[in-house]
Amino acid sequence: MTAEIIAFPKQECGDRLVSSIARLEALSIDVERVGADDPGACLDQLLAAMERMSDQLVDLASLLLDEDTKLQAQSAFRSLSGRIAETRETFDLIGRRRDI
């Protein structure tokens, strides 16, 4: 009996990469649209888009970067997410002060 080596095809990340880049492009178009409409009134929408964009960039990082660099990117985007939350809280406080 002879042994036959079966080579399984590597799962291509190309489809995920193309899909992830397309989602990132759609987000950037959304940000441009929101910013052009009324930048001052749409702060919450812009912050939400930044959060979605950072999530998408982490997804891209998982496809393109080595493990150490990927962990650094995830840490940076967690920090960004925290800063976005702080910005929202600050603007909420400012809005409440105006209402008083």
33-52 pLDDT, tens digit per residue, is: 776 776 665 777 888 888 88
17-26 pLDDT, tens digit per residue, is: 888 888 888 8
User: Using 50, 70 and 90 to split pLDDT, how confident is the model at 86?
Assistant: very high
Exposure on the CB side of residue 50, measured as CA atoms within 13 A: 18
- What is residue 43's predicted lDDT score, i.e. its pLDDT? 77
- What is residue 9's predicted lDDT score, i.e. its pLDDT? 45
